[in-house]
Structure 1
Amino acid sequence: MCLMLLANTAAAQDVADAPGAKLRLLDKLTGKVTDLDLSSGQSETVGRLTVQMDACRYDPENPAAEAFAHLTILDAMLPDPVFNGWMTASSPALSALDNARYDVWVLRCDVPDVVLPDVGEPPEDTPGEGQPAEEDTTDDGNG
């Protein structure tokens, strides 16, 4: 019985390395959302943060189900990394960046030879958007 449990656990932990990942960064002060497409080892600077994607892993049995990315995140105002570890796409709060201004989370790994659903662009704020539509009124007083 124990061997079956160990075999199932080992099989459930099979992961494959991806050449890159798609991340999303939110500047909570300005409300600006930025999507980052990074290859392994590549970094990009947005505002004060420099985000480096060290590795991205996924379940080869179901590549769209989960992504695990190892990130190193630096803040230009601090000498040490503000984050250095693994983030999970489905549970970003499990291992989150603790920063008053920025949030960063993993959207997916770039999986070769697999077409994954595209992650939609962040919505643009436009004046009046999100307001209920004005209904036609009648003269009978019933709205």
Structure 2
Amino acid sequence: MKKIVVSCVVAAGLFSSGSALADAKNTAVLQGLDKVTARTQTFDVPLNQTVKFGSLDITLRHCDRTPPEEPPESAAFLEIVEKREGADPKQLFSGWMFASSPALSALQHPVYDVWVLECVNRQDKAENTTDDPAAGEQQQSQ
């Protein structure tokens, strides 16, 4: 409960203080860590769409980024559901994640970590970085 109150206070202060409001974006750039294999993957999640990361289904409901004249911050409202074979779907997370403070409101999972890198506007799905997961693994090994 304390974590939820802190998240709400931070979100309210972040996006309502100052002279400019946050700009809504249509895509969240997330990074995920598989703790078993120690591999990370960067992927885009378009607004109101679901992307799979391992056994997780990640849905973006809202994504904001502060304007250039404000301190940099991106915040995304995510819903994360775990779907395993032979088990009912289990909602693991529903709330705001902040790029500058990933530990403030984090996914609690024994195998996966997911965090927000930034919120951006993408013109089409051709820019989605999840098209070739092997390319991300090759980049990391270099």
Which TM-score bucket, shorter chain as reference? 0.5 to 0.7
Per the alignment, residue 140 of structure 2 pairs with 124
Opposite residue 141 of structure 2, the aligned amino acid is D
Larger RCO (alpha carbons 8 Å, 6+ apart):
2
> Offset of 1:53 from its aligned partner?
1.2
Q: What stretches of structure 1 of length at least 5 have no aligned partner?
A: 1-8, 113-120, 127-143
Q: Secondary structure at the match of 2:18?
A: helix
* Cα distance in 1, alignment partners of residues 19 and 35 from structure 2: 36
Q: What stretches of structure 2 of length at least 5 have no aligned partner?
A: 1-15, 123-135
Higher helix proportion, which one? 2
Q: Secondary structure at the match of 1:124?
A: helix
Per the alignment, residue 56 of structure 1 pairs with 63
Matches within 5 A, 1:13-24: 14-24=21-31
* Cα distance in 2, alignment partners of residues 105 and 35 from structure 1: 10
> Identity over the aligned pairs, expressed in percent?
34
* Cα distance in 1, alignment partners of residues 70 and 57 from structure 2: 27
Opposite residue 36 of structure 2, the aligned amino acid is L
> Offset of 1:124 from its aligned partner?
2.3
Specify whether residues 104 and 62 from structure 1 end up closer, same or farther in structure 2 by C-alpha distance, changes over 3 A only.
farther
Which has the larger displacement, 101-110 or 12-21? 12-21
Specify whether residues 100 and 16 from structure 1 end up closer, same or farther in structure 2 by C-alpha distance, changes over 3 A only.
same
RMSD: 2.6
Matches within 5 A, 1:1-143: 10-11=17-18, 14-62=21-69, 65-77=72-84, 79-111=89-121, 124-125=140-141
Q: Report how many aligned residue pairs link the two structures.
A: 111
Opposite residue 72 of structure 2, the aligned amino acid is A
Deviating beyond 6 angstroms after TM superposition, the runs of 4 or more aligned structure 1 residues are: none
Give the number of the structure whose alpha-carbon radius of gyration is greater. 1
Alignment check: 8 A CA contact 1:63 1:111 kept: no
